[in-house]
Amino acid sequence: NAGVTQTPKFRVLKTGQSMTLLCAQDMNHEYMYWYRQDPGMGLRLIHYSVGEGTTAKGEVPDGYNVSRLKKQNFLLGLESAAPSQTSVYFCASSPNTGYEQYFGPGTRLTVT
């Protein structure tokens, strides 16, 4: 099993550009999450999904959109990137809320 994978690993965007981050899991987990982590900070929840076709807002959802069209994939979109969105983005999955979460390796995004 690959666990949780994230694509891409690194990306540099210019202000105003758009992009989509892909998270994939092969553990048949119901729940998936997107977090961001800024330097010296803990993780902050952006959006999460409790199952295929569902999404919900987390702590810092503004400027992001998500979709869960397939159970194994959770996409995070930035429609118009801003320098404040420079961060490391982690995806995670779990069989249920609060259960052990499995994290991906992260995507380092820089917006100039």
Task: Write out the residues near another protein by the rule CB under 8 A.
Answer: 4, 33, 35, 40-45, 48, 58-59, 90, 92, 96-106
- 85 SS3 class: helix
φ/ψ (deg, to 5) at 80: -145, 95
3-state secondary structure of 69: coil
Minimum CB distance to another protein, residue 15 (Å) = 25
CB of 19 to another protein, least distance (A): 20
Residue number with CB closer to another protein (58 or 63): 58
Please report, to the nearest 10 degrees, the dihedral formed by the alpha carbons of residues 104, 55, 68, 63 taken in order.
Answer: -70
| Cβ proximity to another protein, 14 vs 40, nearer residue | 40
